[in-house]
């Protein structure tokens, strides 16, 4: 992905269209593989995030921002998109969607018990929200991505152990169809959660939001937060689970499915990394990042 460079003058012109002025500074933010993010500080110390979406269309971004706004209005702690003077969340510039969000002060959420318990609570509350009718039902890193990788392997006659693992794991989806579904984030990793004083205070980047299996979303959080030095950390799982079940109890069927769901969640992240860094943007230091996930597949889990 080519990062979009933005000057202070350009950012000033954009935020004026949302009623803001007197921009003092602009700073690149870390994180985000499909967009360019900047922290803006105004003279009155208002802090904003300017986001340029480099890999998604105007329609795709508009959908995501409407879903984010819906969740913010439903009580989920997430930055609510700011409208421009045309009453849209998006300003098109250089054929890319530009958006503005409030900046949330804090740090990436830690992995201590209280932090992860609080994250489990928020996730369970989100899972109890009635999904809006226009919420998509396909997880972008799931079955469709698996099929995309398998087509690529067929067309290029380029099979390896990982792609064969993806092929053999497709059947797991079929055995999980009847599990409870609802709104899932799909990517609750440490760089998508802001924390403060050992509490999760803001959920970021609902780019994978969809109507899918709730327990899958829960174990995806464990994939993101629950491992250290290539090993699962039982205390972290217990913290996430205890927080979650203080709001929403898992069914017996969900508990029984956790190992298969975890395998799928792990393969989904591996598949995304493989597509992004082996195929879409090869020859970088991230090319073998998918192997971090595949190395976890045969480890003993705390469930």
Task: Encode pLDDT of 35-68 as tens digits.
Answer: 899 999 999 999 999 999 998 999 999 999 999 9
**Residue ranges making up the domain that contains 61:** 8-103
Residue 139's pLDDT band, with cuts at 50, 70 and 90, is very high
Q: Is residue 159 part of a domain?
A: yes
Pairing status of strand 199-203 against strand 193-196:
antiparallel
pTM of the model: 0.93
Helix or strand (DSSP H, E) at 108: strand 107-108
Total domains in the chain come to 2
> For residue range 100-133, what is the model confidence (pLDDT) as tens digits?
999 999 999 999 999 999 999 999 999 999 999 9
Same domain, yes or no: 81 and 57: yes
Same domain, yes or no: 149 and 287: yes
Q: Is residue 1 part of a domain?
A: no
Kindly compute the dihedral angle of the four CA atoms of residues 81, 87, 93, 98, in this order, to the nearest 10 degrees: 0
Same domain, yes or no: 129 and 156: yes
Same domain, yes or no: 162 and 64: no
Residue 286 belongs to a domain with what CATH number?
Answer: 3.90.1200.10
Is pLDDT of 1 > 60?
A: no
Is pLDDT of 194 > 60?
A: yes
Residue 154's pLDDT band, with cuts at 50, 70 and 90, is very high
Q: Is residue 302 part of a domain?
A: no
Same domain, yes or no: 67 and 165: no
Q: Is residue 249 part of a domain?
A: yes
Same domain, yes or no: 20 and 154: no
Same domain, yes or no: 147 and 33: no
Q: Is residue 208 part of a domain?
A: yes
Same domain, yes or no: 146 and 260: yes
Is pLDDT of 22 > 80?
A: yes
Q: Is residue 74 part of a domain?
A: yes
123 dihedral zone (left: phi>0; alpha: psi -120 to 50; beta): alpha
Residue range 280-301: mean pLDDT, rounded: 95
Q: Is residue 92 part of a domain?
A: yes
């Amino acid at each position: 992905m080519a990062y979009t460079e933005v000057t202070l003058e350009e950012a000033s012109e954009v935020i004026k269209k949302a009623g803001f002025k007197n921009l003092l500074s602009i700073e690149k933010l870390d994180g985000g593989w499909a967009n360019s993010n900047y922290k803006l500080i105004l003279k009155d110390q208002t802090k904003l995030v300017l986001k340029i979406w480099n890999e998604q269309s105007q329609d795709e971004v508009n959908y995501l921002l409407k879903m984010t706004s819906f969740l913010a209005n439903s009580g989920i702690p997430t930055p609510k998109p700011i409208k421009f003077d045309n009453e849209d969340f998006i300003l098109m510039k250089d054929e890319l969607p530009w958006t503005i969000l409030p900046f949330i002060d804090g740090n990436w959420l830690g992995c201590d018990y209280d932090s992860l318990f609080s994250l489990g609570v928020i996730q369970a509350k989100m899972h109890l929200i009635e999904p809006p009718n226009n919420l998509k039902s396909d997880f972008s890193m799931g079955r469709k991505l698996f099929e995309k990788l398998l087509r690529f392997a067929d067309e290029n006659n380029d099979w390896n152990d990982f792609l064969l693992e993806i092929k053999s794991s497709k059947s797991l989806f079929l055995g999980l169809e009847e599990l409870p579904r609802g709104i899932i984030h799909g990517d609750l990793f440490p760089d998508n959660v802001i924390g403060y004083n050992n509490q999760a205070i803001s959920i970021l980047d609902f780019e994978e939001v969809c109507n899918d299996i709730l327990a899958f979303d829960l174990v995806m959080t464990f994939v993101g937060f629950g491992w250290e030095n290539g090993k699962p950390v039982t205390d972290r799982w217990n913290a996430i689970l205890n927080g979650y079940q203080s709001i929403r109890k898992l069914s017996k069927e969900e508990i029984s499915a956790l190992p298969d769901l975890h395998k799928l969640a792990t393969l989904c992240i591996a598949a995304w990394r493989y597509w992004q860094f082996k195929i879409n943007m090869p020859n970088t230091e991230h090319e073998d990042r998918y192997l971090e996930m595949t190395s976890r597949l045969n480890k003993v889990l705390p469930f």
